[in-house]
Structure 1
Amino acid sequence: MDKKKRDGAVTDKKKRDELIMKYAPLVKNIVERISSRLPSHLHVKEDLMNVGIIGLISALERFDKKRNVKFETYASIRIRGAVLDELRARDWMPRSTRNKYSKLEDTFASLQRLLGRPPDEEEMSRYLNVSLDKYHKILDEAKGVTLLCSEDLPPDYHETHANYHFLDQIDQNNPFSSIATNELRVVLKKAIDTLPDKERLILSLYYYEELTMKEIGKVINLTESRVCQIHTQAILRLRGNLKTLRGVYC
């Protein structure tokens, strides 16, 4: 950790404890949003809350108000990063499962190249030789595997592209860290621009407006489970497009 005192960093223990209590609801909100994207058999919320508090403490110690960023924004990034690091360290997703959904990402990209446009669900199900209901079940099963990349892309991008606010501060733990930040933004914007309108809307409502899946469903008149499926499809499609654009693998 950088030992240099930053303008805005909290070093007084009593003050720090007060701020931890103040921002504990922020930690809870982030953990609950991430937990909702995990498979139901994983019971890690309490552990993730503890890790999130550690992320909050790190934010309090490292915050520099000279950067002209709100503390809540900075803390959210640190908390989310700490939680995702913990999930990565646990490596709960079997390699076979990761490979399965990596192939699904490739299928999105391949069909898009073939058709010259994003494939719809019917085209995907036919290509995979499964029924539409089975395809929807595949998306339901894939919701956990999409988490670590979709949530790995938090917001600073909103300065020039507000609808892409969920593409946030790129840090050293991000899977895209090998690309220069400016170049990454161009690549990500290009990949997002290829998404169908409804998928872009759901990503924007979820990551930028921070609505829950249930709230999004009410806005666009869909069930919560259907919104989850479209969100998962959007992330898988986005990751496939990124592979094509930059050879980047999450």
Structure 2
Amino acid sequence: MAAKKKTTAKKKAAKKPASKASARKTASKKKATTKASKKKVGSKTVTPKRPSKTTTKKKATAKAPVRKSAGKKKTAKKASKKKVPVEELPTEELWAIYRKQAARKGPKQQAKLEELRNILIERHYPLVKYIAERLLHTLPKSIELDDLTSAGLFGLMDAIRGFDLSRGIKFKTYCSTRIRGAILDQLRSQDWVPRLVRLKASRIDRALQKLTAEYGREPTHAELARSLEMDHQDLVKEIQESKARTMFSLSEKWEDDDGSVEKVEILEDKGSVDPVTELNRRDLMGFITKALTHKERFIIEQYYQYGHTMREIGEMLALTESRVCQIHSNVMSRLKGLLGQKQGSLLA
């Protein structure tokens, strides 16, 4: 037993120095790793620390709200783009939307298309008014600005309907000619004179003004025919045809110091009765019928003054038509004898 205890004690003593040697080796390894991980910054040495689990969690939680805020900004930008009303969009973007809408079909799409068209009309309405005002200066005063503007708006609607954005032409350039053409077409439709006659008349007027400026007087017929390179008979014919183009408006106003007066207020009404002539005729009728009886005076007045027939006068007096005609002939024969030479003026 004593021998066994001695062998175990020896084994334990041999094991102890081996464990101490292994501990020394691990400590040296740790020192080597720490030295390699150290970084020199100037004269100081900085040892990087291993991030703990709490610090990694904090960084993850800090990065998450940044991503959410970036997503919110994108949605805010999209919402701001959608909230811009159509009326505030630039004209080019509005045209692009209009073309896309025109390609679609359906009642809802047509309603949106009409809304866009109305916005385009409102934006280009000042251009229509400008062109109408410029044309109004070359036209008679009887033509109103509102009529020209309404015709120009129809031209603008046709221009919007037929404009092609892909050609690279500005809409303002395209629609100006269409608006002017629509106004001129409306004026030509109201004119009863053919267009060829208008052109001939304007040609003669230009030649007449040119020769008047050159000679300082009105040119003769031969000089006018020579400048127009026409025969005498052809020039006479064209002048006669051009006279049919003259038309005047009764609503045209003449301005003077007292104010503006319309032509309709100055023109003579041939159907009206002249008060002086009417008084003279009544005085003459009273003088002629002075020597007649009541029945004879009544027949003459009703027949010549009021225009009744013999039958109507007979119904008024309870007489036959033949009897009224007989009384009338007797009165006229007596008056002719009394007046003598004045019977022509009396019967007139």
TM-score (norm 1): 0.38
The structure having more radius of gyration, on CA atoms, is: 2
Which has the larger helix fraction?
2
> Which fold has the larger relative contact order, with Cα–Cα distance below 8 Å and residues 6 or more apart in sequence?
1
TM-score (norm 2): 0.28
